[in-house]
């Protein structure tokens, strides 16, 4: 990776290990962000570490997911988060300020720094030349406590960008085209880095959208250079002082290189129900559309809304379309308002919602039964919208606007001349939209609503396991399937006993009862098990129900770490064909687990009836210690107690 931007950020942040393929490295984290849906756990975990204040240079707590207040549970969580922020020295971004990823890049992101967030789309920060990564909540809590963040040394996949986008084609089409070509798992264990002459033709909005969905290709991060586009954008945001140039050296050594010819990219659409099920918009003109939503972490920029506003200006949405707008941030809304965009949208029949994640995570905006919803969002996993048998399509703002007018998926190039957008020299914003912590927070009382339950405690891993296969699932199972979200379930994110009642609800309502009946068990999965969201609840809640091992053909990166962090053995089939011989209800025996972990064994034989199957345990020595202890909080607490005892002795 010599001379790549990735290397230029990784090297100075390396605090453990060395940059060598597959080797685990520890990275110093400069900035952390949390959002409310994963954040309540992060702060419960941070509290359990008994550290008076956060140690990362910048820590921001955003409320952007659970913003519907149908009863007291979500607002209680907001108050809990604000009080934790004030106590522990964290900047608080209240509901209404917008989606963490947009607000963070607009107000806090710094080229060349590392950012860790308890949300998988934290990768968005790569638009500014940051190494921005999503992680499970407990890993963000540890980073806030000053611990390194551990990953396996990633490979760096260079995307050599040439040319210029055609009118009506934008960043979303680029990333959808890459998803079409390479799939949702192509990036596992890799960083996506953009270089070449065409990068200068991708504006900050395009870079944010592409970096955002890097994770939806499985990448650890997506990185753009920090260049003149970055500098100008920081000037517009009155943060030019944080600019530093960050480009590849003369001879960047990528592990692989792919050409991206911007001129050849067409408007693209991801069809139900995976972001890599991509087709050309022009091939989908038969698909009727009943709902169009513009917004989310993926397309929440000023440019995205102004393009839509100018396309629909003076026209009216199709009568069968519910046309909905959620800007990425309050700052963006304010600027779209000042430029006349909000008026144009309202007059075209748009419903304007609060800035935030909303329908992207099923927090409202569920589509009607049997209808098609077209969204500028990053994900369309089955049921995620809140409607069980949904049909969600993903597209660019241009395609969304064109389709809102016609009521069918419409290639926006059929509209004629592309709109011209005016950009303000300086974006409007108010720094007092945030709540800043006091210099010292020990006096702050934490406000804990009745739905905030203590963290469950888990004991060390047993030496042997004889357990039933509770469920067998296929490839690309997302964490939205394992631990669904939506307005019914999300309010339980701070209540593990209650949320565990919904594990696998989308595909198997009996799962929690079956797990209890068997006193726990094992889950079997296909390729890329646990893709999507970073929610640690997808490990924590099954663990609460007694799941002690997951055996899959392969795991998505963040979910695999979450499994180790909560004491669930992540085993991979040595021979993927063995997956075919296991069925739900089979009993699996695994003997000598502790010895395998202690000795560093990478092969763990399991017995399924008469058959012996080899599984692989690809975890680091650090993760072995965590698994033995039954979870990362157990090892962290043991280390703290040992340090306190040492101090007592000296």
Catalog residues that contact ligand MIC under the rule CB under 6 A.
37-38, 65, 119-121, 134, 361, 379, 485, 532-535
Minimum CB separation of residue 120 from ligand MIC in Å reads 4
Minimum CB separation of residue 493 from ligand MIC in Å reads 7
**Euclidean distance between CA atoms 258 and 157, whole angstroms:** 8
CA distances from 262 to 194, 200, 201, 407, 411 (A): 12, 12, 9, 28, 17
Q: Kindly give, in sequence order, each residue whose CB lies less than 8 Å from that of residue 647, ignoring residues fewer than 6 positions away.
A: none
Here the tokens at position 311 are 């396309």
**Euclidean distance between CA atoms 296 and 365, whole angstroms:** 12
Q: What is the DSSP letter of 591?
A: -
Minimal CB distance residue for ligand MIC: 533
Half-sphere exposure of 174 (CA within 13 A, CB side): 33
Is the Cβ of residue 38 or residue 170 nearer to ligand MIC in the bound state? 38
Alpha-carbon 118 to chain mean position: 8
Minimum CB separation of residue 540 from ligand MIC in Å reads 12
Is the Cβ of residue 216 or residue 334 nearer to ligand MIC in the bound state? 216
Minimum CB separation of residue 499 from ligand MIC in Å reads 11
Minimum CB separation of residue 496 from ligand MIC in Å reads 14
- On whether the CB atoms of residues 474 and 527 are closer than 8 A, the answer is no
Give the containing element (helix H, strand E) for 326.
strand 322-326
Minimum CB separation of residue 39 from ligand MIC in Å reads 9
**Euclidean distance between CA atoms 107 and 124, whole angstroms:** 14
- On whether the CB atoms of residues 129 and 113 are closer than 8 A, the answer is no
Is the Cβ of residue 363 or residue 633 nearer to ligand MIC in the bound state? 363
Torsion of CA 405, 406, 409, 411, to 10 degrees: -80
Is the Cβ of residue 121 or residue 543 nearer to ligand MIC in the bound state? 121
Is the Cβ of residue 65 or residue 543 nearer to ligand MIC in the bound state? 65
Minimum CB separation of residue 370 from ligand MIC in Å reads 25
Minimum CB separation of residue 308 from ligand MIC in Å reads 21
- On whether the CB atoms of residues 41 and 337 are closer than 8 A, the answer is no
Q: How many degrees, rounded to 5, is the angle at CA 190 between CA 187 and CA 191?
A: 105
Is the Cβ of residue 105 or residue 121 nearer to ligand MIC in the bound state? 121
Here the tokens at position 605 are 């034989």
Core vs surface per residue 127-156: b (16+ CB within 10 A) or e: bbbbbbbbbbbbbbbbbbbebbbbbbbbbb
Is the Cβ of residue 45 or residue 119 nearer to ligand MIC in the bound state? 119
Is the Cβ of residue 134 or residue 383 nearer to ligand MIC in the bound state? 134
Is the Cβ of residue 267 or residue 532 nearer to ligand MIC in the bound state? 532
Minimum CB separation of residue 551 from ligand MIC in Å reads 24
């Amino acid at each position: 990776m010599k001379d790549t931007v990735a290397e230029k950020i990784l090297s100075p942040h390396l605090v453990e290990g060395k940059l060598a393929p597959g080797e685990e490295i520890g990275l110093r984290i400069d900035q952390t962000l949390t959002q409310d849906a994963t954040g309540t756990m992060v702060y419960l975990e941070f509290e359990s570490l008994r550290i008076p204040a956060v140690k990362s240079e910048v820590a921001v707590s955003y409320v952007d997911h659970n913003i519907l207040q149908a009863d007291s549970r979500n607002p209680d969580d907001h108050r809990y988060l604000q009080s934790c922020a004030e106590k522990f020295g964290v900047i608080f971004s209240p509901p209404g300020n917008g989606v963490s990823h947009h607000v963070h890049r607009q107000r806090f992101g710094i080229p060349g720094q590392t950012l860790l967030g308890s949300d998988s789309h934290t990768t968005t920060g790569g638009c500014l030349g940051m190494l921005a990564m999503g992680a499970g909540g407990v890993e963000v809590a540890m980073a806030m406590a000053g611990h390194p963040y551990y990953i396996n040394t990633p490979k760096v996949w260079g995307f050599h960008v040439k040319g210029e986008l055609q009118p009506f084609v934008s960043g979303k089409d680029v990333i959808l085209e890459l998803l079409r070509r390479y799939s949702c798992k192509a990036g596992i264990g890799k960083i996506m880095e953009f270089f070449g002459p065409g990068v200068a033709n991708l504006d900050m909005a395009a870079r944010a959208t592409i970096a955002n969905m890097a994770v939806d290709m499985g990448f650890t991060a997506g990185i753009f250079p920090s260049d003149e586009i970055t500098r100008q954008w920081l000037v517009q945001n009155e943060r030019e002082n944080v600019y530093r140039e960050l480009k590849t050296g003369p001879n960047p050594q990528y592990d692989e290189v792919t050409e991206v010819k911007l001129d050849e990219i067409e408007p693209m659409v991801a069809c139900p129900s995976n972001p890599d099920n991509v087709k050309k918009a022009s091939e989908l003109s038969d698909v009727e559309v009943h709902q169009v939503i513009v917004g989310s972490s993926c397309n929440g920029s000023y440019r995205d809304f102004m393009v839509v506003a100018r396309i629909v200006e003076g026209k009216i949405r199709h009568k069968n379309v519910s046309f909905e707008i959620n800007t990425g941030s309050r700052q963006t809304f304010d600027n779209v308002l000042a430029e006349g965009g909000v008026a144009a949208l309202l007059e075209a029949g748009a419903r304007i919602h609060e800035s935030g994640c909303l329908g992207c995570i099923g927090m409202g905006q569920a589509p009607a039964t049997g209808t098609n919803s077209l969204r500028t969002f990053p994900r369309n996993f089955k049921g995620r919208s809140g409607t069980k048998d949904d049909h969600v399509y993903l597209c660019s703002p241009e395609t969304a606007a064109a389709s809102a007018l016609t009521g069918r998926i419409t290639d926006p190039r059929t509209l004629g001349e592309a709109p011209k957008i005016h950009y303000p020299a300086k974006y409007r914003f108010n720094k007092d939209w945030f709540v800043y912590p006091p210099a010292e927070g020990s006096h702050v009382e934490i406000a804990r609503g009745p739905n905030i339950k203590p963290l469950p405690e888990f004991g060390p891993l047993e030496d042997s396991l004889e357990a039933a296969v509770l469920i067998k699932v296929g490839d690309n199972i997302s964490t939205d399937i394992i631990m669904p979200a939506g307005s019914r379930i999300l309010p339980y994110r701070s209540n593990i006993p209650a949320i565990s009642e919904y594990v696998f609800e989308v595909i198997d309502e009996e799962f929690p009862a079956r797990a209890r009946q068997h006193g726990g068990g094992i889950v079997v999965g296909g390729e890329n098990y646990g893709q999507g969201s970073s929610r640690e609840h997808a490990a924590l809640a099954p663990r609460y129900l007694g799941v002690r091992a997951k055996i899959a053909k392969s795991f998505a990166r963040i979910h695999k770490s979450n499994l180790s962090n909560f004491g669930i053995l992540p085993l991979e089939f040595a021979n993927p064909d063995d997956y075919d011989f296991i069925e739900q209800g089979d009993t699996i025996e695994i003997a000598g687990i502790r010895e395998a972990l202690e000795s560093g064994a990478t092969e763990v034989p399991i017995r399924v009836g008469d058959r012996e199957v080899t599984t692989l345990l690809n975890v680091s020595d650090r993760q072995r210690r965590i698994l033995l202890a039954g979870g990362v909080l157990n090892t962290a607490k043991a280390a703290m107690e040992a340090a306190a005892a040492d101090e007592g002795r000296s």
